[in-house]
Every structure is written in C-alpha cells, then in structure tokens.
Amino acid sequence: MIIAIVIPVFNEAVVIGQVIKNVRAHGYDTIIVVDDGSSDDSFITAAAHDVLAIRLRVNRGKGAAVKTGIMAANLLDADVVVTFDGDGQHDPADIEPLIRPILEDNIDVVLGSRLLNREEMPFIKMIANSIGNFITWLFYGLLVSDSQSGLRAYSRFAALIIDTKADKYEYDSKVIREIKNNRLNFSEVPVHTLYTEHSSNKPHKQGFTNGIITLGRMVWNLIA
C-alpha cells in the first residue's frame, strides 16, 4: 500500500523542514514536495530531507503545484494520494482519519473540513469559507462544508480521473466540480487547523483579496 503525501510549497523554507519531519513522524515516508517557483530555499531544504522534491521553475499557483504532485504520485503507482499544505497549518494526525474512508469504505475522495471543527476557526474565516462554499455550490452544484480546504485524500482512481486546468486557488473548488461531474463518492472528515504565526502572516495565502480574484476567475471561466 503506497500512501503518497503531496505538499505544495511557495516560499516556505522556514517551516517546510519541520512539516516534513512531522508528517514522517506519523509514519508516512512517501512524501512529494512540489516547489512552486519559490524565491527562497524551499526546494533545497525539502530535498535535504530525503523526499521526492520537484521544482516548478516558474510560480504557477497552488493548483498547478498540487496537480504536479498528484501526477508524480500517479507515476509512483500510489494507492492513496493526500494533499497537505506546506505552511504548517495542517496536523499530520488528521491524515489517518482522512484516508480511512478510502481504505475501508471504497470512497474516492475525502475532504478535510475545517468547518466541522468550528471552535478552532476564527469567526471571519468561518464567514469567508461559508461564502466560498455557497459560491462553489452555485457554480458547480455540490454543497460541501469546506470547499477551500487543502487537506484532501484521493483514491488511485480519483487521482487519475480528476482533471482541471485551474492553476491558482480556484483549483480547490474545481476539484469539487470534478467530483460532481465524474460522480465520485466523497465524504468529509473534520480536521484541525494550526493557525501559526507563519501561516497567518504569509502574503500569498487565500485571503480576502485572493478570494475576490478567485471568484473573478470562477466567473470568467463560466463565460469564456
């Protein structure tokens, strides 16, 4: 059984080493780190931790990095692919409950949901995520409790069949569309979010401005 953990990073040199150590400490040693054209030492740091480090020479966005990692996992014949943010906001302890429905119940996609753990989420983020969920439902017809979560698990079938051209943050919503279009089985499990100083302060996170840009891209994709 090969469980591949895909970690997209963009300028996360400060934390990526610790993230890799934490994931490995939970028993997952097939780790794929995709550096999305970082200007810092993210790639070198990741490669030094004995993982499969892949470098996109140009910054293409989180979606492009995740898609690259999933393709690499497919080349490794991974049975389960887990996507895990590289900024340290995900808890590796959540991986086990995340992959269990795939291993035991033949579920295709498991979505980690921060909103099922509401007490941990700041109110403003809860509102923003609810709006994101509503827009995703409006555009793609599938209502989920956390359409923007990066912590997800895919069966081999789902990892092979899901295909989207989205490069940026709208990738997460497009995966929801792919679940509906391909009639994949999915479930949601509550996950923890570690709101560290690093993850809260990074300039390229999915904040208000990026949220508006993501919405604009989704609207544009509807008419273009």
The answer for residues whose C-beta is within 8 angstroms of residue 207's C-beta and 6 or more apart is none
Q: How far is the CB of 184 from other proteins (least distance, A)?
A: 15
For 65, the token pair is 């990095």
The residues of the shown chain that bind other proteins, judged by CB under 8 A, are 1-2, 30, 34, 37, 52-58, 60-61, 64, 67-68, 71-72, 75-77, 138-141, 163-165, 167, 174, 177, 181, 220-224
Q: Cα(46)–Cα(70) distance, rounded to whole angstroms? A: 17
Q: How many CB atoms lie within 10 A of CB 221?
A: 14
Q: How far is the CB of 104 from other proteins (least distance, A)?
A: 18
Judged by beta carbon, residue 3 or residue 102, the one nearer other proteins is 3
Q: How far is the CB of 48 from other proteins (least distance, A)?
A: 14
Q: How far is the CB of 58 from other proteins (least distance, A)?
A: 5
For 165, the token pair is 């051209």
Judged by beta carbon, residue 27 or residue 141, the one nearer other proteins is 141
Q: Cα(137)–Cα(105) distance, rounded to whole angstroms? A: 25
Judged by beta carbon, residue 124 or residue 223, the one nearer other proteins is 223
Q: What is the DSSP string of 145-162?
A: S-TT---EEEEHHHHHH-
Alpha carbon of residue 208 to chain centroid? 19
Judged by beta carbon, residue 84 or residue 139, the one nearer other proteins is 139
Q: How far is the CB of 68 from other proteins (least distance, A)?
A: 5
Judged by beta carbon, residue 42 or residue 199, the one nearer other proteins is 42
Instruction: Give the neighbor-by-neighbor strand order of the sheet with 30-36.
Output: 52-56, 30-36, 3-9, 80-83, 152-155, 109-113, 186-190
